Homo-oligomer: A and B are copies of this chain.
C-alpha cells in the first residue's frame, strides 16, 4: 500500500523565487514588469530545497508520494496584471515540475493558475493545458476568491467558471479549492481565510447543481473541508429545509483531505463524511509547522491521527491510496511510469 499525501506545497523554495516575485511586484508598481529577469535555479538547488525538508519528513513519517503544488499563500491572484500573473505562474509551475522530475517516485505535480480578479479565464485554461498535456500534472489548485479576501468575484457555480471546468473535465484534472493570501485585515490567511473558503465553496456547491452539468468534475476541499464536517448535520438540515439535493448528492464529486491537526477532528471527519470521500493529506511544512509539546509530534503529522483511529485495512487503504488513485486519474499512470 502506498501512502499518498494529496496536499503539499513547495514551501521550501530557493530564495531566488521570492526575490523574483518581489522584483516583479516592484516593477509592476512602476508600470512595467515585462523586463524583470527570471531567476536561474539549478537542479542541485531544487534537490537541496526538498531533500532536507519535504523528503526528510516524508521518510520520517512513511509518506511515499506527495501531490506537490506551488506555495499557496504566494499565488497572489489579487495582483490584477494578467501578464505578470502568467509569468509568475509559469515559473512556479515549472519549478514544481522540475522537483517532480528529479524525484518522480516521490512527488506528483499540481499546478496553480494565472487567475486575476474577475478576469478572462482563457489564460488559466492555456496554462492548465500546458501543465496537463506537456508537463504531466495530475491536478490544479483553483482559487475561489482571486480578490484575496474581498470576495468580489462570483461563486464557483457561476457560468463564469464553466469554460475552465469543461477543460478540467476533459483532461481529467481535479481542482483543489485553495485561496491564496488575505488582503483583508479581517481574515488571517491561515486561521480564517483558508477555512472560510472551504466552508463557503461547499455551501455554494450545495446550493447549485454544478455536477449535473459537469459529472466528471472533481473538487478536493482541503483543510478537512473547513467547518463542513463539524457541521454536517447543519448542512443536511439546510438541504432538507431549502429543498436542495441532499449532501450525499455531492459525494461523487467532492472530497475532503485530512489536514486537521488533532485526533478528534480527524476522527469526526472520517466518521461523518465516510471513508470514500476522505483523502489522506497533511500539508506538512505548511501552515502549522512545529511540534505539539503535549505529544512530542508534529501538529501536521496527520498520519498519527489516522493511525490512532483503529481503522480496518480496507479503510486505511482507501484513505492512503485508493481514493487518491480514483480521484486523480492521471496519478496512477504517472506513478506506474515512475516504477511504483
Across the interface, A288 reaches (CB within 8 A) one of B241, B262, B290, B299, namely: B241
- Give the residues in chain B near A185, CB-CB below 8 Å: 154-155
**Residue contact A230 to B290, C-beta cutoff 8 Å:** no
Within 8 A of B (CB), among A144-174: 144-145, 149-151, 153-155
What residue in chain B is nearest A265 (Cβ atoms)? B230
- Give the residues in chain B near A299, CB-CB below 8 Å: 233-234, 236-237, 240
Q: Please, how many angstroms separate the alpha-carbon atoms of A200 and B193 in the complex?
A: 8
- Give the residues in chain B near A237, CB-CB below 8 Å: 261, 287-290, 292, 299-300
**Residue contact A241 to B289, C-beta cutoff 8 Å:** yes
**Residue contact B260 to A234, C-beta cutoff 8 Å:** yes
**Residue contact A224 to B233, C-beta cutoff 8 Å:** no
Chain B CB within 8 A of A206 CB: yes
In the complex, per-residue mask of A230-252: 1 if CB is within 8 Å of any chain B CB, else 0: 11111111101100000000000
- Give the residues in chain B near A155, CB-CB below 8 Å: 185-186
Across the interface, A260 reaches (CB within 8 A) one of B145, B204, B231, B293, namely: B231
User: Contacts A149-B151, A290-B241: A260 and B187 contacting too (C-beta < 8 A)?
Assistant: no
- Copies of this chain per assembly: 2
Residue count of chain A within 8 Å CB distance of chain B: 57
Question: Chain A binding site: helix, strand, loop or mixed by DSSP?
Answer: helix
**Residue contact B196 to A232, C-beta cutoff 8 Å:** no
What residue in chain B is nearest A206 (Cβ atoms)? B191
- Give the residues in chain B near A310, CB-CB below 8 Å: none
A175 → B minimal CB distance (Å): 17
**Residue contact A231 to B265, C-beta cutoff 8 Å:** yes
Chain B CB within 8 A of A124 CB: no
**Residue contact A195 to B236, C-beta cutoff 8 Å:** no
A201 → B minimal CB distance (Å): 9
- Give the residues in chain B near A87, CB-CB below 8 Å: none
Chain B CB within 8 A of A207 CB: yes
- Give the residues in chain B near A78, CB-CB below 8 Å: none
**Residue contact B200 to A192, C-beta cutoff 8 Å:** yes
**Residue contact B261 to A195, C-beta cutoff 8 Å:** no
**Residue contact A240 to B290, C-beta cutoff 8 Å:** yes
**Residue contact B153 to A236, C-beta cutoff 8 Å:** no
